[in-house]
Amino acid sequence: MPSFDIVSKVDLQTLDNAVNTVKKEITNRYDFKGSHVEIELNKKEFVLNIEVESDMKLTQLLDVLVSRSMRQGLDATIYDLSKEPYQSGKVYKKEVPVRNGIKQEDAKKVVKLIKDSGLKVQAAIMDDIVRVTGKKIDDLQEVIQVMKEANLGIPLQYINMKS
């Protein structure tokens, strides 16, 4: 019986390369010369810790981060930018969690969307993976199309297609 998995994984090495590229670009930019800018990737917890002097520089840094990540082949929605920055002394600090894995509520949305599509497939949640099985590969490919058009706000990859 054909099946495939829906996952939301971030390649740690690609993410690290994107962060290093951002660091290099920021040190070479004229508007950041002589200012305090720190960006660190916590590889265990998938969190970016950012420190800058002003709110405007924080906005510019996040813009550079997203654009460089997209050039590295990462989806822009891997960064959870919803947390507000906080001021600590003279610097603004912001923690940016990186979405890695499908959360339970997102997995439920994915399964509901698949069931509402009316296709003859079964979707099962397995930890942070959604496994989709069906009788025809064409049905599975239609599920992929439905998921791409849905725009759930999470980066999804489709792996392990087996017939």
Q: Which pLDDT tens digit goes with each residue over 11-44? A: 999 999 999 999 999 999 898 888 899 999 999 9
Which of these three, 53, 73, 97, is where a domain ends?
Answer: 97
Return the amino acid letter for 22. V
Collapsing DSSP to helix, strand or coil, 82 comes out as coil
pLDDT at 152: 84
Statement to judge: residues 114 and 82 lie in one domain: no
Reported as a single tens digit per residue, the pLDDT across 91-142 is 999 999 999 889 999 999 999 999 998 989 999 999 889 999 999 999 999 9
**Residue-level pLDDT at 151:** 83
Residue that terminates a domain, selected from 49, 78, 97: 97
Q: Are residues 67 and 124 in the same domain?
A: no
Residue 21 CA to residue 97 CA, distance in Å, equals: 19
From 79, 97, 115, the end of a domain falls on: 97
| Over residues 53-77, mean pLDDT | 92
CA distance 160 to 4: 5
- If you count them, how many residues does the chain have? 163
In which domain, by residue range, is 114 found? Answer: 3-8+101-162
* Residue 81 and residue 141 in one domain: no
This prediction has a pTM of 0.83
